Structure formats: C-alpha cells, structure tokens
Structure 1
Amino acid sequence: MTLSEGAALLPAIAEMQQAACQFRQWLADHGDDDIREPSALPGWSRAQLFAHLRGVGLGLARQLEYAKRQEIVEMYDGGMDGRNADIAKHAALEQPELLAELESALGRLSAALDALDDADLTTKTAYRDGNVTDVVNAGWRELVIHHADLRIGASSQDWSPAFCRHLFSFLEARVPEKTRLVLQPLGAQPVTLSNGNTSGKSYVITGQLNDIAAWLAGREPIGQVDAFAAADAIELPELLAWPSGVPAKQ
C-alpha cells in the first residue's frame, strides 16, 4: 500500500482486511448445510450474504480501479436489478464454488486498496456521487457490519470505537426531519445528530457506544439502549431507511 503512514483510512482498511480473512477462513472450514442457515439479517441466509459480499468486493474494486484511470463506472453491472440477480445466482452455488468466488472478489478488492496513494483519495467516483474515500468507507461498513450479520463468531461488540463513530456520522441521514438525537454513550461525550430542520422533537439515546451504533445501523443491540424525551423514558424513535441512495456529502 502506498498511502502515507498515519493516513486516516489505514485503520479502516486494516479492519476490512481482517474481516475478509475471517470470511475466507470460516467458509473454508464449513460446508453447505452451514452456509444455508439463516444469518442475523432478516430473510437472508449466510450464502446470500457471502454472495452479496462477493458482489460488494467486485463493485468496490472496480470503483477504485477506474478511479486510478480518472474514469467513472457504475457500481454494479445492470444496476440494482443486476446486483440482485447476481446475489441469487451465486448464493445457489455449493460451498467450494462460493468460496472460490468470494476469495477472488476479496482478493481483487485487496489489490485495489493496496494500489491507492494519497492523491487518489479525492478522485471522483460513481458511488454515492462521491470519491475514493467514500468507496473505502463503504467497504469498511459493508465488511464489518455483515461480519456481525453472518453469525460466524463476530458481533457488534467487536466494532472499534472509530467504526462506531463513523456510523454515527454516516447514519445521521436516518434521523427524520424535525428531529434531533442526542446520542449519549456511557462514559463518552455526547454526539448530536439531525437531518436538517431541528424544530421538532429532541431525544436522548443512552447505552454503550457499540449498542447505540448497532441500533442506529438497524441491528439488534446486545446491551440496553434507552430513549428519553424531556427526562421521560420512551420507546426508541423510528429511523428513516438506510441511506444507500443518498449522495455523499461534499
């Protein structure tokens, strides 16, 4: 890798590579029955998630490869319809073939990450109408969150503080309009999230850092997460959909 030492993305890339290594190892050690079991993501089997991660790896790799040439390419061939068809096709593969496909895709992503240098990070990409930094952060989210979703030994409790704080920033787009969330992780400084107009309701969300991040990401927290409005305990507020279609902030 040619990113300068101390570059902000290096910890994210290291966590991505660690997750990718564990995906390969678990899949190599388990058979067809294991990969057909449900993941923690409702309606998704492990095989479907592994197939999705294969597609993510290839999609992100080519974003980075094209950016190196100062070119822009769609994330998935055929858009979202192509993505969904590709997941269905590869989720039906038997374990050895799925493992080979996943290894190839993650290897290509790793090579694209290794080729990055500091000058690449602001190069424009198609992903979220953003740049190479946005692409790397997308890989960080996809690999780390789905590592927990797969139920292969990782959970949201393994997320690093930096990753949790990244989710707070990225998922601010899930906060409804006229709403303010004051996230109060135990033992840490509060973080205020809003999505435009804040003239409406304000909620205080308390819990461990990782549990608040899991809730914000639409995952079941392992520990307790509580909500308060005007000092009264209330149900956790509803959030907007995952912001996959929202252009990256410039």
Structure 2
Amino acid sequence: MAAAGGLLRGPEVWAYVLDGHERLRIALAELTEGKERGSSRLPGWTRAHVLSHIEGVCRAQTRQARYALKGELIEVYDGGRPARDAGIEAGAVRTAAELTAAVTATLAEAEAVWGSVGDADWDRPVRYREGDLLGALHCWWRELEVHTADVNLATCSAAWPRELCLHLFDFLAPRAPAGLTLVESDGSLRHTFSVGGAGSYGTVAGDDSVGRAAVVRGRLTDLASWLAGRQPHQQLDGRLPELGPWP
C-alpha cells in the first residue's frame, strides 16, 4: 500500500481498477428493465445518464492509452466537452439491456488495452491534462469508483478502498478551504489542507482544535465521499465548510 498521500504505481492502480470493474459488473446485474430510468445519486441524472457517462469516460481514457502506446497523442473527446455532454444524453435513452451490453463491452476493451501497458510505459505522454498514462489511469479509477456509487445500485462509496480515499484527498485538495482538517473516526489518519491545494498527513491527536479552521470527523469513506461532493452514508461530525469546484 502506498503511504498516505503517496502516488501508487501503475500496476497497483490497475489492480484496484480491475476490482472496480467487478463491482460495476455486479451493479449492472441488478439493472433490470425499468431501473435505468430510476434516480441516480446525481441530481438531475437517471441511472442511464450515469452509465452512459461511465461508458464514455472509459472509452475516452482507454483511447488515451491505445494511442500513447503507439507514441501518438489524441484528444480525450472528439469535439470536446459539448460532444461529451451530447453523447451522455444520446446514450441515456437506451434500455437497461443495451446499457449493460455497452458498458460491459467497454470494460472488456479497457482491460485489453490497459492490460498491455508495460512497466516502462506509464510515463508516456497523453493529451489528458497534458500528463502521462499513469495520470490517465488515475482518472479512470476516480471516474469508475465515484460514478459506480452514483448509479445507486449494488455498490456505494462505503466500498471504496482506502487507497482511493487517500488519492481523492490529494486530487480534490483544491476544493478544500485552507486549514480544513479531516479526522478519520475509524482509523488514525488526520489530514490538514493548506493553501494551494497541498496538505499534510498525521495521526489523530486528542485535541481537534486548530484555531478557527474547520475540523470534520467521520469514517474515511464518508470523508472522501463528502469531499467528492456526494452525500456521506453516515453523518459527519463538525461544521462542513463550502467546497470549491472539482479541479
């Protein structure tokens, strides 16, 4: 396991992604006809909207990998954000069976492409955030886990692995006001966000006082869920400050 706040290696992230694929497949097994029109955990989106988005972002990041392995760069979405949004709306009209087949096929495609990435390939450049393959895989991991929970079927954020929660703390740090401290109630982690989106990790102390800064305590998965803009499964303790947009 990576240290708190540390960056996992490519094969480690890929192992967690494969676990996430299986949880999504389990959720899809519950998607009987009619359930695709039910509400997701995202306001204004049905389950079909979320699954359509999962399919699209999976395909987009998989093609980042496919082209990177050929030494080529390609945009994340042809047509940018407008085309992405239009694709979600168009895909959301499909039936449960059609959505299940489409998402399942996209997962299989992802496993074929990402599974061929070697140890020397992770720093290959991609267009996604002008980063590298490892960053693109981290993106798919976040999108996969967060939106699988959003589908509101068999799995939820309570199933998120600890390593994902720590990664979300780091990635979503720009959302947090400086000085906000998150304290894990089911473990020993304490994380304080500083100016500029950085942060520091430590262990839980007896005194939660950090001056006027907010201190929020809860289970690690609930803290990560709230930081990601989702409703925690168990109530958090402390004053919840307003969060900024996703970075």
CA distance in 2, matches of 1:108, 1:204: 43
Q: Does 1:75 align with 2:76?
A: yes
* Matched-pair contact (CA < 8 Å) for 2:27–2:154: no
* Matched-pair contact (CA < 8 Å) for 1:15–1:144: no
Deviation at 1:97, TM superposition (A): 2.4
Deviation at 1:197, TM superposition (A): 8.9
* Matched-pair contact (CA < 8 Å) for 1:172–1:195: no
1:205 pairs with one of 201, 204, 216: 216
Deviation digits for residues 69-111 of structure 1 (CA, Å, limit 9, x no counterpart): 2221111111010001111111111223222221222111111
Deviation digits for residues 114-161 of structure 1 (CA, Å, limit 9, x no counterpart): 011111111111112211111111111111111111111211111111
1:219 pairs with one of 225, 230, 235: 230
Q: For the structure 1 residues 213 and 29, does the alpha-carbon distance in structure 2 shift closer, same or farther, using more than 3 Å as the test?
A: closer
CA distance in 2, matches of 1:32, 1:213: 32
Q: Between Structure 1 and Structure 2, how many residues are aligned? A: 227
CA distance in 2, matches of 1:217, 1:197: 15
Query: How large is the RMSD of aligned CA atoms in angstroms?
Result: 2.1
- Paired AA for residue 77 in structure 1: D
* Matched-pair contact (CA < 8 Å) for 2:225–2:232: yes
* Matched-pair contact (CA < 8 Å) for 2:10–2:122: no
- Paired AA for residue 36 in structure 1: R
CA distance in 2, matches of 1:156, 1:8: 23
Q: Which residue of 2 aligns with 1:246?
A: none
* Matched-pair contact (CA < 8 Å) for 1:172–1:193: yes
Structure 1: 5+ residue stretches without partners: 1-6, 228-234, 244-250
CA distance in 2, matches of 1:105, 1:219: 25
CA distance in 1, matches of 2:229, 2:100: 28
Q: Aligned runs of 1:161-240 on 2, under 5 Å?
A: 161-176=162-177, 179-186=178-185, 187-196=187-196, 202-227=213-238, 235-240=239-244
Q: Which residue of 1 aligns with 2:246?
A: 242
Q: For the structure 1 residues 191 and 47, does the alpha-carbon distance in structure 2 shift closer, same or farther, using more than 3 Å as the test?
A: same
State, as a whole percentage, how many aligned pairs show the same letter. 37
Deviation at 1:26, TM superposition (A): 3.9
* Matched-pair contact (CA < 8 Å) for 2:125–2:131: yes
Deviation digits for residues 180-203 of structure 1 (CA, Å, limit 9, x no counterpart): 2222112313112124299x9622
CA distance in 2, matches of 1:64, 1:76: 13
TM-score, structure 2 as length reference: 0.85
- Paired AA for residue 86 in structure 1: G
Q: For the structure 1 residues 172 and 197, does the alpha-carbon distance in structure 2 shift closer, same or farther, using more than 3 Å as the test?
A: closer
